[in-house]
């Protein structure tokens, strides 16, 4: 990308005002920036490469596409970039632990139906298990390459909000089941 193209793309995506107010058509030269703008949006991780046919892919809708990309940039301003997911456990580990979490949850439900004396404790453990599932599921979503980049970054932001900035930067997830509920047998 040429430096001038980069400056124009930056101005289009970060400027304070709408670059295309209602009723004013974009200048014809703006069509020349469709490819550099798409490249720039991809580098900012506000557009997935698979979205190119739909976003900035048509000549007649560039103003709406630029507005969409501006909204995404603002929405994801504080979201971690995908490189943060490199610190998380690999996808297979995430999938196995999520499956175990669900099996554990099903066992809790089964016990909840028959162990009425412990119903309140089992209910609390199920709630904790569901919260841990949410965390591990967000981590899994952030790693899933079949999801668009925007969704993956939203998952990382939600994960960070649940476990904290330091934990996500270090790739430290809580256990996938509430192990603090287990009693040691001496």
Co-location of 51 and 102 in the same domain: no
Phi then psi for 173, rounded to 5 degrees?
A: -100, 150
Residue-range definition of the domain harbouring residue 64: 3-75
Residue 112 and residue 51 share a domain: no
Q: How many domains does the chain have?
A: 2
User: Is residue 114 one of the residues assigned to a domain?
Assistant: yes
pLDDT at 102 over 90: yes
Q: Is residue 100 part of a domain?
A: yes
Q: Are residues 177 and 128 in the same domain?
A: yes
Domain end: 38, 58, 75, which one?
75
186 assigned to some structural domain: no
SS3 of 182, please? coil
pLDDT of residue 107: 96
User: In this structure, are 87 and 177 located in the same domain?
Assistant: yes
CA distances from 158 to 4, 7, 18, 122 (A): 36, 31, 28, 27
Q: What is the pLDDT of residues 112-162, one digit of tens each?
A: 989 888 889 999 999 999 999 999 999 999 999 999 999 999 999 999 999
Model confidence at 21, pLDDT cuts 50, 70, 90, reads: low
Q: In the structure encoding, which two tokens stand for residue 21, read together?
A: 């107010």
Assess if residue 52 is contained within a domain: yes
**pLDDT category of residue 164 using cuts at 50, 70 and 90:** very high
Domain termination site, one of 75, 102, 125: 75
Burial zone of 99 (CB within 10 Å; 0-12 exposed, 13-18 middle, 19+ buried) = exposed
CB of 158 within 8 A of CB of 76? no
Q: What separation in angstroms does the CA of 99 have from each of 7, 23, 46, 95, 130?
A: 47, 53, 31, 6, 12
- pLDDT tens per residue, range 52-97: 999 988 777 788 888 899 999 999 999 999 999 999 999 999 999 9
């Amino acid at each position: 990308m040429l430096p001038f193209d980069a400056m124009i793309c930056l101005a289009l995506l970060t400027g304070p005002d709408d670059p295309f107010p209602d009723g004013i058509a974009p200048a014809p030269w703006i069509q020349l920036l469709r490819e550099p703008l798409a490249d720039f949006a991809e580098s900012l991780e506000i557009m997935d490469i698979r979205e190119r046919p739909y976003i900035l892919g048509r000549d007649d809708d560039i103003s709406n596409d630029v507005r969409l990309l501006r909204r995404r940039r603002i929405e994801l301003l504080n979201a971690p970039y995908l490189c943060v997911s490199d610190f998380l456990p690999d996808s297979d580990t995430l999938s196995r632990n999520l499956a175990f979490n669900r099996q554990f949850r099903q066992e809790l439900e089964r016990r909840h139906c028959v162990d009425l004396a412990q119903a309140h404790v089992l209910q609390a453990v199920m709630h904790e298990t569901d919260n841990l599932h949410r965390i591990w599921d967000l981590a899994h979503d952030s790693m899933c390459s079949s999801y668009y980049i925007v969704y993956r970054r939203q998952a990382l932001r939600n994960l960070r909000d649940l476990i904290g900035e330091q934990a996500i930067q270090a790739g430290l997830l809580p256990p996938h089941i509430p192990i603090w509920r287990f009693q040691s047998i001496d």
